[in-house]
Amino acid sequence: MSSKKGAKCEEFELRRGPWTLEEDTMLIHYIARHGEGRWNLLARCSGLKRTGKSCRLRWLNYLKPDVKRGNLSPEEQFLILELHSKWGNRWSRIAQFLPGRTDNEIKNYWRTRVQKQARQLKIDANSSIFRDALRCYWMPRLLDQMSLADSSSNSNPNPIPQQVHNTDSSDPVMSTSCYGQSSSTNCSMDRLPELAPSPYEDPFLAYGLDALDSAAVPAVATDCAAGGGGSDWEGLWSMDEAWHVRKQHEEECGGGIFLQ
């Protein structure tokens, strides 16, 4: 590292905003020659008028070959909900379990999709009520979709990304203790039984769906899962469903839980 003023190319004006194709090409070529890392050096010597941080972000979130693009699958959404319930906003940690997805993408997903649901329900997205609602309604629906996709294709008997299949008991994904623990209320999630050691071997059993009051699960759920919901993404509640959830929670948990 030729640090000490090794580069006198520091007087130029730094560029900001969207990256151009030319900048992307320069970055890709530089990394192909010199590898990742040492981002400030890269920024100085590659000819890019960007900060090292900007280069790093562009590479990791967009240019890196294994970055996966496109909509998140139900499995990926399920994992995000599950891991977020355990770790909170530890995006990079969560991203480790979704190969090809970046922390930025997961963070955006949470903000634009999940938090939006909370806003519509007028629930604090960090509240235990909302977490329970996710577990009671959203996650089972994702499991539904995973199961449907599984049975229709059969090409991939286990849709869960390989990385979660470790046997480390400290791994929260494999830990059963995280299920239903967040609720400080007597909502229906409390009725869920202890889970089997591996929740993913039979997701339906694992989530104790048979213990749920099936009448309480909006019928639209299956329509949605079958593609008839008209939603642009999987797992989303319609406003009717959202109000159903809200009402049920008000009945079960008493008033005053939802924001007015």
Partner DNA sequence: AATCCACACAACCGCCTTGTT
Partner DNA sequence: CAACAAGGCGGTTGTGTGGAT
Residue 41 makes contact with DNA by CB under 7 A: yes
HSE, side-chain direction, 13 A CA sphere, residue 13: 2
Q: What gap in Å lies between CA 203 and CA 186, rounded to an integer?
A: 23
Residue 64 makes contact with DNA by CB under 7 A: no
Residue 29 makes contact with DNA by CB under 7 A: no
Q: Looking at 110-118, 146-154, 176-184, 221-229, which segment touches DNA (CB under 7 A)?
A: 110-118
In the complex with DNA, the residue whose CB is nearer, 111 or 247, is 111
Residue 11 makes contact with DNA by CB under 7 A: no
Residue 52 makes contact with DNA by CB under 7 A: yes
Of all helices (H) and strands (E), which one includes residue 131?
Answer: helix 128-133
Q: By three-state DSSP, how is residue 12 classified?
A: coil
Q: Looking at 86-94, 140-148, 184-192, 251-259, which segment touches DNA (CB under 7 A)?
A: 86-94
Report whether 222 contacts 144 (CB < 8 A).
Answer: yes
Residue 34 makes contact with DNA by CB under 7 A: no
CA dihedral of 20, 25, 28, 34, whole degrees rounded to 10:
-120
Q: What gap in Å lies between CA 68 and CA 60, rounded to an integer?
A: 11
Q: Site for DNA (CB under 7 A): which residue of 54, 77, 145, 183?
A: 54
Q: Looking at 111-119, 148-156, 204-212, 246-254, which segment touches DNA (CB under 7 A)?
A: 111-119
Kindly determine how many residues on this chain lie close enough to bind DNA according to the rule CB under 7 A: 41
Q: What gap in Å lies between CA 119 and CA 123, rounded to an integer?
A: 6
Q: Site for DNA (CB under 7 A): which residue of 27, 30, 48, 58?
A: 58
Q: Site for DNA (CB under 7 A): which residue of 12, 29, 34, 92?
A: 92
Phi, psi dihedrals of residue 108, rounded to the nearest 5°: -65, -40
In the complex with DNA, the residue whose CB is nearer, 83 or 257, is 83
Q: Site for DNA (CB under 7 A): which residue of 27, 46, 50, 225?
A: 50
Residue 231 makes contact with DNA by CB under 7 A: no
Contacts of 53 (CB under 8 A, 6+ apart): 39
Residue 103 makes contact with DNA by CB under 7 A: yes
Report whether 253 contacts 187 (CB < 8 A).
Answer: yes
Q: What gap in Å lies between CA 143 and CA 145, rounded to an integer?
A: 5
Give the residues lining the site for DNA (CB under 7 A). 1, 3, 15-19, 37-41, 50-54, 56-58, 61-62, 69, 71, 89-93, 103-105, 107-109, 111-113, 116, 232-233
